[in-house]
Structure 1
């Protein structure tokens, strides 16, 4: 089956741009079709896939999409597109174009596609904070410079470049590499890098080690790949994103963090890496309620705040409840010597009492079974001995999972 480039936009307002993109892709030897996601019923005669066809995929039917309320109509069309796009068997790659409304409409559907499927968004808001649109996906965003409101000397160049970029993604083959090792996911932060590097050294001969930076998006990406079946085990050493969820930091992965171990039953070995810190931006962005707390300036753009015993106890209970919902083998290790590079004797965030509150809350909450175990360790998280314990536990749960699978 021929792979086709899908071009998505609101034909009632973006017909000339979509037509131009199709011409550029066709000239480059790539078949392309235009998908209308407009809600005004006028595709200007350019759509290959009508808005009605997309709207028919809304769970509550097309009447939910075509309503006399622009906000509700756009939200409903976004939901319909999210259901429709992943069902396209001939989809080779996809490009969306739009302003803030069009970007918000198209991005959720692109996030539904597998990692590696070419996906590009030309948007008026691509020079700002694009995290809410890209999320844990590999969407490439290109700033439109001028508004997406007709063709001109700037938009032709930007859209032409976008078309050629998508053509290159579709036409250029990525060399195949024999994937003979199972992939595993590891979470890392700067203050747990020493630990994770040791894990990679110990495991890379047997596993393809995929490391995710625990910046909120990183945690969501780790769990997205686990949900998609591309990861066979998790070494979730760095759960710091939970601090930002609780205390309003900038690197939250959301309430759903850790839910993947209940959804997938994958072998899971975790720890409390960097749960001693909340991440804020520059010092003047720290909420006034926290101004008297203990801080560390990681760099001019990132300010770290030490968590308290009370905050750690809350997080320990939350994590424990998540672990209790697990369906696969779980080992969760507690490094008594410190939970980050900043939480070691002589370092700024060293606070054994705060760490103890975290460990005790976990022990009081987790319902331990042969499958689900908390393991205390006397070592610091970055000590070689702690890494060795993590490796031992991980190999154990992977072996158990493998025997059951066969």
Structure 2
């Protein structure tokens, strides 16, 4: 039997939280309850009390109340809830989590879910699900959300539909999930679809033949968050961060993966092979008006959701400096592969987005700004050419031979 952590403010949402627990129990699951309220008390004791939560956050309920500020109080509870959830998971006492809340509860839920590793089922039932109130960097990589429709105050048939779905979903996920095995060393790679970047088609089977597992992350905001989350855990034997466009996005208002993009592998001591795939593009929401700053640029409408705008020469220099600054923080070897022939399929000579002057500006700035801890591998080739993948494997094999990359999990 799987056990689900059910968390929320039991002083104001007691009825709803008990309903979720009943549904989980009715489907054959166990429940461990956690109260994250501050002022009131639940109708009956929870398995983890609000006092235990506050203490896990390095404070107390008395201090939270004495602060006189609901935001300060809930941040105390959020810190404690995250710590307790991770403690319970590591002790083998929970197999998944579901958190219920409005804006206050959702704020806490994001921290709680982010504390749990990728692969642990985590569900948030919220009145603000999918809202732009939540910045990308706060969204756990594999969180699931459902709108708590019609449920702001008390149970009814509308909100029961949402609550029961979420309860069944988290239990079903806990029963069905196949956790990462980690029986082979894992390579984390970033990319986009094969229409724009194609190196993974060659590299993935080649690396698997060498005994490694390869996970390719779609670097469109949330993919980058998942990549960074696993890097921060030290999950990778090495990373091939060949699509750092989310750094450009963060600089110029596109689909950001957060300020810490391209930093966690370096901080965790993970060897990095880096290339500037699609560095020259900023991804913006395709169904919204084009921002004023990009209205005089070439753009590529990838689909109705996503449009890419081309950066000018000076902006590309800024990207080169930003990448260099991030790599300078690395505590493990870094290899920067610079394909002087272009960094996305649309940037080939004759391509719709080709800009020889902009590419030259980026290459020149990288060669100047790249920190001393990074090896530069400049190639007279395009990133989608076989020569690029061949050089990647050459560097990779050398690092394995020298023990820079561990060949066994």
Q: With structure 1 as the length reference, what TM-score do the two structures score?
A: 0.91
Question: Unmatched 5+ residue regions in structure 2?
Answer: none
Which of 233, 238, 244 in structure 1 is aligned with 2:238?
Answer: 233
What pairs up with 1:89-168 in 2 under 5 angstroms? 89=91, 90-129=93-132, 132=135, 135-168=139-172
Corresponding residue for 1:183? 186
User: What is the total number of aligned residue pairs between the two structures?
Assistant: 401
Corresponding residue for 2:44? 45
1:212 aligns with 2:214: no
Q: Do the aligned partners of 2:271 and 2:405 also contact (CA within 8 Å) in 1?
A: no
Which has the larger displacement, 393-402 or 380-389?
393-402
Shift of 1:327: 1.6
Q: Do the aligned partners of 2:148 and 2:159 also contact (CA within 8 Å) in 1?
A: yes
Q: With structure 2 as the length reference, what TM-score do the two structures score?
A: 0.90
Corresponding residue for 1:79? 79
Question: Unmatched 5+ residue regions in structure 1?
Answer: none
- What SS does the corresponding residue of 1:56 show, helix, strand or coil? helix
> Aligned pair in 2 of structure 1 residues 404, 162: CA closer, same or farther (>3 Å)?
closer
Shift of 1:63: 4.3
Q: Do the aligned partners of 1:187 and 1:212 also contact (CA within 8 Å) in 2?
A: yes
What pairs up with 1:197-276 in 2 under 5 angstroms? 197-205=201-209, 206-249=211-254, 251-276=255-280
> Aligned pair in 2 of structure 1 residues 212, 144: CA closer, same or farther (>3 Å)?
same
1:375 aligns with 2:374: no
- What SS does the corresponding residue of 2:81 show, helix, strand or coil? helix
- What SS does the corresponding residue of 1:193 show, helix, strand or coil? coil
CA-to-aligned-CA distance 1:205-264 (integer Å, 9 cap, x gap): 222110001112212211211222322110111111111111111x21222112123311
Q: Do the aligned partners of 1:192 and 1:238 also contact (CA within 8 Å) in 2?
A: no
In 1: Cα distance, 2:127 partner to 2:201 partner: 39
Corresponding residue for 2:57? 58
1:337 aligns with 2:347: no
Corresponding residue for 2:388? 386
Corresponding residue for 1:9? 8
Q: Do the aligned partners of 1:233 and 1:398 also contact (CA within 8 Å) in 2?
A: no
> Aligned pair in 2 of structure 1 residues 401, 226: CA closer, same or farther (>3 Å)?
farther
CA-to-aligned-CA distance 1:89-147 (integer Å, 9 cap, x gap): 21221111112221112121111101111211112222545863772421111222222
In 2: Cα distance, 1:23 partner to 1:171 partner: 17
Corresponding residue for 2:351? 347
- What SS does the corresponding residue of 2:302 show, helix, strand or coil? strand
